Structure 1
Amino acid sequence: MEGEKAPAVEVCKGVNGLDKVVLREARDCSAEVYLYGGHVTSWKNDGEELLFVSNKAIFKPPKAIRGGIPICFPQFSNFGSLEQHGFARNKQWSIDTDPPPFPTVTSSRAFVDLILKPSEEDLKIWPNSYEFRLRVTLGPGGDLMLTSRIRNTNTEGKTFSFTFAYHTYFFVSDISEVRVEGLETLDYLDNLQERKRFTEQGDAVVFESEVDKIYLSTPAKLAILDHEKKRTFVLRKDGLPDAVVWNPWDKKAKAMADFGDDEYKHMVCVEAAAIEKPIELKPNEEWTGRLELSAVPSSYFSGHYFSGQLDPEKVLQSSSI
């Protein structure tokens, strides 16, 4: 941070006076995290925004913020008794001033620890005691890391289970020019067909209409190739075996009040998740789910990420370098 006047971590006010934390690193890299929802709403490298947030997003509780990285807990989707995607994304989190040690020590000064605990009202909706700790880190090279630790704090010996997703909205130049690599040949559940199970036939996931799929037993690394930007997002994940791919396309976009009619063209959700097999925690047990995001020029990206699954020539052809 030599020569940088801005602090690495700053607590300030965001849209509608909501509290947020701004993380800064060298090379004009930054991230913004709202305490409402424990919600990352911005991630910039060299000053360029990498996450999508709708221009119609409603920064007003109890509505979840449309875009960025909503946290889906304790349920993904609306197949349980709770509201869609659970309640963590529309609760007020606190800055955790005394977190227990993290298994990995970061060299970055730009991180914030947040914590969510259930209120008495929350316990009526989901009668389980827990501590949800979230660390958001901006690495020196501009990588964004989210580490979630969920502990069962029930004192009466009660086990609970949950599903989870980092519902990441990536900003892309043109959805029709985007490919998601690393999911080929895998089984998926199609949310547009009552979660029926299929096997991915394409050599990549491409977008010509609405897509809403839960890929199962996915690799630890995935990639999103934005042909027009000549940029590749790389996702590395741990503790999160599934991956959701979603784009609402035109009809769904028009039906959402907090989403612009044409904004589907400039976003894609690729979500690190644990959905098919719910996480089960006994009292005092803790689960960790980690996501690391990086953005690199497509010319730097080669097939070693996928042990040969990805054709390096295809990626190189999409680069101007």
Structure 2
Amino acid sequence: MGLRLLARAVLPAVLGAVLVGAPGAPAQAVPAVASYTTTVGGDTADVYYPTGISGRLPVALMLQGAQVGRGFYADYAEAVAAYGFIVVVPDHRRLLFFDLDFYPEQSQAAATADWMGEEDDRSASPLLNRFRLSRIGLLGHSFGGAAGLSVAESKCVFPFCTGLVYDRPSEVKAASLFGTNNKSFLTGAFADVDNEIPVQLVQGLQDGVALPADAEETYGRVQDDPKQIVRITGANHYGITDVQNPAGADPEVAGQTLTQAQSIEIAARWSARFLLAAFGDDAAEEYIWQTGDAADPYVTVTGDS
């Protein structure tokens, strides 16, 4: 898959004090979500957090799709935050193959771990003493998801890492990645994924950019449990974006039969609960491994816990 085709990151969902839920799944009250803009590792970043949940919260770091600005992830980030996360969405601009644009890399995980410690102590922070400092979950889309797979392996993989070695920050405990595979854009080959943390792939079955067959091949190469692949009928490559075919990204060739709000809600629900399960939440664990598949008519799941 080419660098442009590895991308796509964006978001929608109407959140607030409303009821949401896929058909067949129980509706739930969604807490209000607030946001602010800051700097994380030198990158301008938007931070989303639920206002109606007290106590310390884990972080979910969103690794954007290539050439897609952070603003396109607003609705998806809000949807994940409503499950009890501080969601961080940076704009990571760098030069790659003579192209200066948004290309996530593995170093963002460590930069986020450093930032959350500083932000937790900053007296003017809206999130003063609110971070669960030992917990980061990775979210990723396309190119950003492929970078997340390399973080999960704790392995330096070009073009997501530019050094010789890479060590995954201990705070990173799990990864949920949308529209993602590890097919080489140079050779077309797939490598084994020697993951050190739980990995979930969320794949739209109408994806014409990151093909479902490539996600299946990648899932089969994920070496260690827990691992899971969630297939969403009716979603395409832009299923977590605010709009279809966001400006700056390569166009999707396949239409989406779900609405943007539907595909965002479904993807956010499965990703958030997978991360929560990895953090020790019993209810989330029961949902993703036992009850969720049967309750959601748009989803089929394969996994090993």
Write 1 or 2 for the structure with the bigger share of helix. Answer: 2
TM over 0.5: no
* TM-score normalized with structure 1 length: 0.29
Q: Which has the higher contact order (CA 8 A, sep 6+)?
A: 2
* TM-score normalized with structure 2 length: 0.30
